[in-house]
Structure 1
Amino acid sequence: MPHIEVNGTTLYYEVSGSGLPIVFLHDHSTSHRMFEPQADYFSKRAKVILFDLRGNGQSGKMDVEISRIVDTQCEDLKGLLDGLSITKAVIVACSSGAVLAHKFAYQYPERVMNMVLVDSYFHSNYTAAAGKVKEFLEICAWAAHYLPAEMFIRSLRITYNKWYEAYRILRGELLHERTTELIKQRLALRHTDSCGFALRLKIPVLCVSGNRNEWVLEQVKKAAARYSFARLAILEDAMYPSHLCQPEHFNRLLLEFLQDQHAFERSASGK
């Protein structure tokens, strides 16, 4: 299993294929396995980079202060790309992975060609009262992560009974969850200005969401409207994670977006 020493930690990573580099970023509670169907599809067309963020999957421990987590993970990603001799890449991020993608693109704009955000939206549109209620509910939800994972398998199976691929991967992620580090990352995300970094982006962005969760879809629409150069794509009969509920449709959308942006040609020419 490939690991690389970067920024004082060890990152698990997988590289497959050749050509245009595409980095897939999972959210802050799962691992690289969230993009298995995409890796299989795009490794025949591009260079696919999957890895586990620090504190997740098979990578090193979350041994930094909460206030430094997102910055440190950005530094980790830069170190990984440097170690793989990748100067510029497309970034595809799922859910809270978009927070890391936003900040990385802001800090290292020369390293990002295009960005694709899946089921991602901003979390800053709460009143003070609503924020306190949300905070209480979040704390209750986080505490539930310490219960045995097997308690949640049946409800997961019921929720994703139509989407076996999503269920299979989410089940594995649930059983191998690193709970304390998950909570540390959630706390870090609460204090990261994702919206501020996102609005400074000057690169083309594709925002993708499924239509089976109306609230999430509306938030994604609002987020997409605030980028300077964004396109919104809605996957039919899909919920989070929409790229796993409809992997074939998502893969085609991503491929068409990259072709429209001439990403393959630009990568080949070094632009």
Structure 2
Amino acid sequence: MPLAKTNDNYNLYYEQAGTGTPIVFVHEFAGDWRAWEPQMRHFSRRHRCITYSARGYPPSDIPREASSYSQAQAVQDIISVMDAAKIEKAHIVGLSMGGFATIHFGMTAPDRALSLTVAGAGYAAAKDTQEHYRALSRATAEQFDRIGAKELAKTYALGSTRVQLQNKDPRGWQEFATRLGEHDSLGSANTMRGVQASRPSIYDFEEQLKVMKVPTLVINGDEDDQCIAPGIFLKKVLPACGLLMLPKTGHTINLEEPDYFNLFLADFIATVEAGRWVDRDPRSLAGH
């Protein structure tokens, strides 16, 4: 079983498939290493693909203290997986919690990123509602402590941005919900407290993002309400950013619309590797 050793001495489980330019997939809160299977199968035909379970998600280690979980640590864990797999540079693809980690990876280690794909990232980013959603995250952590992942998954998997997957692909949704119920309750609670309820807003990083030159693709569903405005913000501030909005789509984009996700991601990566995903032409800016 391949394991990556983190900078604070925990083990992260990862899997890899294929050969070629590396792609590292970073999962969301409700996912784990298995959540990227449609992408692993598709992209491993031409790329070396890596998927891993974040700390707190079996079969990776479950740190007992919430202080071992943070947004900054999530970035270091991506680096640890890349180092263990002997990957110097990769295309980084993240969804939701993994999308936030991908943004911060671009700011922290831009020299290790060939490109960034940020999907469904924006929950609790709005400054005026940030404290409200942080409180909700802490309350969710308490639910994981009290009733456990298996029971909580029954309602969490039916959130307002998850029902789209259920409506389009009932079997795929059931697989997603079952896997969510298999998560470690303590790891999920600590991730909620240390990452979801504590991470800074992306709006706090406008100046850093303005000078972050890594080619970036932002992908959102148009029914993932909290991610729409942050996605537009990223499009406006990142120099080399494209924004893709998928219609009638919720939060679990890579599972809900795998064909579209794979199609546009493949085109983005090919364009980056051809050297054609460049900074926005200033002549296209309003008022030019």
TM-score, with normalisation over the residues of structure 2?
Answer: 0.79
1:55 to 1:220, Cα distance in 2 relative to 1, 3 A? same
1:214 to 1:75, Cα distance in 2 relative to 1, 3 A? closer
Q: Quick one: distance in 1 between partners of 2:40 and 2:274?
A: 17
User: How far did 1:242 drift?
Assistant: 1.2
User: How far did 1:208 drift?
Assistant: 0.5
User: How far did 1:21 drift?
Assistant: 0.1
Q: Is 1:116–1:208's contact at 8 Å kept on the other side of the alignment? A: yes
Q: Quick one: distance in 2 between partners of 1:226 and 1:166?
A: 35
Q: Specify the code of the residue in structure 2 equivalent to 1:142.
A: A
User: How far did 1:78 drift?
Assistant: 1.8
Q: Quick one: distance in 2 between partners of 1:121 and 1:224?
A: 13
1:248 aligns with 2:259: yes
1:226 to 1:251, Cα distance in 2 relative to 1, 3 A? same
Q: Specify the code of the residue in structure 1 equivalent to 2:233.
A: K
Q: How many residues align?
A: 263
Q: Is 2:66–2:191's contact at 8 Å kept on the other side of the alignment? A: no
Structure 1 window deviating more from structure 2 (80-89 vs 95-104): it is 95-104
**Gap runs ≥5 in structure 1:** 266-271
User: How far did 1:236 drift?
Assistant: 2.6
Which residue in 2 is equivalent to 1:11?
A: 12
Q: Is 1:166–1:241's contact at 8 Å kept on the other side of the alignment? A: no
Q: Specify the code of the residue in structure 1 equivalent to 2:79.
A: K
1:62 to 1:212, Cα distance in 2 relative to 1, 3 A? same
User: How far did 1:264 drift?
Assistant: 9.6
Please list the CA deviations of residues 212-267 of structure 1 after superposition, one character each: whole Å capped at 9, or x if unmatched: 334433442233323222101112332111111010111000001111112699xx
Aligned-pair RMSD on alpha carbons?
A: 2.8
User: How far did 1:166 drift?
Assistant: 4.1
User: How far did 1:111 drift?
Assistant: 0.6
Q: Is 1:33–1:169's contact at 8 Å kept on the other side of the alignment? A: no
User: How far did 1:4 drift?
Assistant: 3.6
Q: Specify the code of the residue in structure 1 equivalent to 2:232.
A: K
1:184 to 1:200, Cα distance in 2 relative to 1, 3 A? farther
Q: Quick one: distance in 2 between partners of 1:38 and 1:48?
A: 9
User: How far did 1:107 drift?
Assistant: 2.3
User: How far did 1:88 drift?
Assistant: 0.4
Q: Quick one: distance in 2 between partners of 1:188 and 1:16?
A: 31
Q: Is 1:122–1:194's contact at 8 Å kept on the other side of the alignment? A: no
Residues 20-39 of structure 1: pairs in structure 2 closer than 5 A: 20-39=21-40
Q: Quick one: distance in 1 between partners of 2:230 and 2:274?
A: 28
User: How far did 1:126 drift?
Assistant: 2.6
1:163 to 1:132, Cα distance in 2 relative to 1, 3 A? same
Percent of aligned pairs sharing the same letter:
22
Secondary structure of the residue aligned to 1:92 is strand
User: How far did 1:204 drift?
Assistant: 1.2
1:141 to 1:122, Cα distance in 2 relative to 1, 3 A? closer
Q: Quick one: distance in 2 between partners of 1:264 and 1:225?
A: 21
Please list the CA deviations of residues 68-99 of structure 1 after superposition, one character each: whole Å capped at 9, or x if unmatched: 63333333322221222211000000001122
TM-score, with normalisation over the residues of structure 1?
Answer: 0.84
1:193 aligns with 2:200: yes
User: How far did 1:122 drift?
Assistant: 6.5
Structure 1 window deviating more from structure 2 (55-64 vs 10-19): it is 55-64
Q: Quick one: distance in 1 between partners of 2:171 and 2:218?
A: 22
